[in-house]
Chain A
Amino acid sequence: MASIKALRTALATNLGSIAGLRTASSIPEVVNPPIAVVYPAGAPVEYHLASQNATSQFNFEVMIIVGRADARNAQDDLDAYISTTGTKSALLAIELDRTLGGAAFDCVARRVSSYGSTEINNIEYLAATIQVDVIAN
Chain B
Amino acid sequence: MAKYVVTAPNVTLNGTALTSNIAEATLTLNAAEVDVTNAGSNGYREVVGGLKSGELALTLHRDTAAGSVDATIVPLIGSLATAVVKPNGGTTGATNNAFTAVVLVTSYTPVAGAIGDLATATITWPISGAWTIGTAPL
Contacts and interface: CB of A to CB of B under 8 A. Distances in A.
Given A49-B61, A108-B116, A54 B20 contact: yes
* Residue of A49, A51, A53 with most chain B CB atoms under a 10 A cut-off: A51
Contact of B20 (A51, A108, A110): A51
A135 interface: yes
A14 B20 CA distance: 28
A55 interface: yes
A50 B116 contact: no
Interface in A38-82: 48-55
Contact of B22 (A50, A108, A110, A137): A50
Interface in A2-49: 48-49
B116 A54 contact: no
B contacts with A: majority SS: mixed
A24 to B, nearest CB: 27
A49 B7 CA distance: 9
A50 B21 contact: yes
A135 B23 CA distance: 14
Contacts, number: 39
B118 A52 contact: no
Contact of B19 (A49, A51, A110, A135): A51
Contacts of B89: 52
A53 B21 contact: no
B25 interface: yes
A43 to B, nearest CB: 16
A45 to B, nearest CB: 15
A51 B116 CA distance: 22
Contacts of A110: 116
Interface string B56-69: 00000100000000
A116 to B, nearest CB: 25
Interface of A: 48-55, 108, 110, 135, 137
21 contacts: A48-B7, A49-B118, A50-B20, A50-B21, A50-B61, A51-B7, A51-B9, A51-B10, A51-B19, A51-B22, A51-B25, A52-B7, A52-B8, A52-B20, A53-B8, A54-B20, A55-B21, A108-B116, A110-B116, A135-B118, A137-B20
